[in-house]
């Protein structure tokens, strides 16, 4: 997997129909953003949107959130690898053996296809989970402590990076270094409602913390002018890179 030198904006295609997603992709692809294909498009119209993205030469974060026994996850990853798919997510809580199986499956299938292997990114804690929610999940300590522990597990399994809130990005980058990538959902421009996200940050603060990939959905997808909204976020990202 190629490591990015400039933070990348990933637009979440959280749209309930293919026509709407196709329109967004066609309008936003010239901005050189990446696209996240999560549950809604993957299960609703996965073949169609992936074919469209591949035809456009777009880069894709396949947010599959795989979490199962190692053999099943390896098989799932193999089935998902295709040209243009740059990142695939799995849950760190699946454990070391499962994470290793995901990495192996991605590399082996990519070799068979003659393409670059997608990076496997391990989801640590969802950004919808607040500190007070950890106890009911049986997790001791705060979000930062749990994220670091799960990130270490992912790094040992040779994952390319982790998914975490921007609040943990700085500590992760300081401890694991620049080669271990951090992907942050929960990105909201200043003044925009966090919705169901609880640990959020602006694009500027996420980049200052060291995030490599910023995932933005509703502030772009639901905007009256998605292209203008994406351009504004890209401009904020560029300014943040110059300032750090």
Domain count, the chain: 1
35 occurs within a structural domain: yes
Asked whether the predicted pLDDT for residue 135 surpasses 50, the reply is yes
143 occurs within a structural domain: yes
3 occurs within a structural domain: no
Quote the tokens at residue 148.
């670091």
Quote the tokens at residue 57.
């030469």
Give the Cα separation of 144 and 47 in Å (integer): 37
Q: What is the pLDDT of residue 52?
A: 98
Q: Residue 105: which domain range? A: 8-243
Asked whether the predicted pLDDT for residue 191 surpasses 60, the reply is no
Quote the tokens at residue 233.
């976020």
1 occurs within a structural domain: no
89 occurs within a structural domain: yes
This prediction has a pTM of: 0.92
- Residue with more model confidence, 167 or 24: 24
Looking at residue 189, what DSSP letter applies? Answer: -
What mean pLDDT is predicted for residues 210-233? Answer: 96
Catalytic residue among 36, 52, 65, 198: 65
128 occurs within a structural domain: yes
What Cα–Cα distance (Å) separates residue 184 from each residue in 34, 218, 224, 232?
14, 15, 24, 18
Q: What is the pLDDT of residue 2?
A: 47
Q: What whole-number percentage of the chain has pLDDT above 70? A: 93
Give the Cα separation of 212 and 9 in Å (integer): 9
Quote the tokens at residue 12.
């979440």
Residues 6 or more apart whose Cβ sits within 8 Å of residue 57 = 84
2 occurs within a structural domain: no
Asked whether the predicted pLDDT for residue 63 surpasses 50, the reply is yes
Give the Cα separation of 117 and 93 in Å (integer): 23
65 is catalytic: yes
Q: Which of 9, 55, 6 is nearest to 234 (CA)?
A: 9
Looking at residue 78, what DSSP letter applies? Answer: H
CA 210 to the chain's CA centroid: 15
Residue 193 sits in a domain of what CATH number?
Answer: 3.20.20.70
């Amino acid at each position: 997997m190629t490591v990015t030198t400039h933070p990348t904006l990933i637009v979440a295609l959280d749209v309930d129909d293919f026509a709407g997603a196709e329109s967004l992709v066609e309008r936003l692809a010239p901005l050189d953003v990446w696209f996240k294909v999560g549950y809604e498009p993957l299960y609703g119209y996965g073949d169609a949107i992936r074919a469209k993205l591949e035809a456009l030469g777009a880069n894709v974060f396949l947010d599959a959130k795989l979490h199962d026994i190692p053999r099943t996850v390896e098989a799932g990853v193999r089935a998902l690898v295709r040209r243009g798919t740059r990142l695939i997510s799995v849950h760190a809580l699946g454990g070391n053996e499962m994470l290793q199986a995901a990495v192996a499956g991605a590399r082996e299938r990519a070799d068979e296809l003659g393409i670059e292997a997608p990076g496997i990114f391990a989801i640590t804690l969802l950004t919808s989970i607040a500190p007070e929610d950890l106890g009911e999940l049986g997790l001791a300590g705060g979000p930062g402590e749990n994220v670091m522990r799960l990130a270490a597990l992912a790094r040992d399994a040779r994952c390319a990076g982790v998914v975490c809130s921007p609040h943990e990005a700085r500590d992760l980058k300081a401890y694991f270094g620049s080669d271990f990538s951090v992907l942050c959902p929960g990105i909201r421009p200043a003044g925009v409602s966090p919705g169901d996200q609880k640990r959020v940050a602006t694009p500027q603060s996420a980049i200052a913390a060291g995030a490599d990939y910023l995932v933005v959905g509703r502030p772009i997808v639901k905007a009256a002018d998605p292209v203008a909204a994406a351009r504004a976020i890209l401009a904020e990202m560029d300014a943040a890179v110059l300032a750090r």
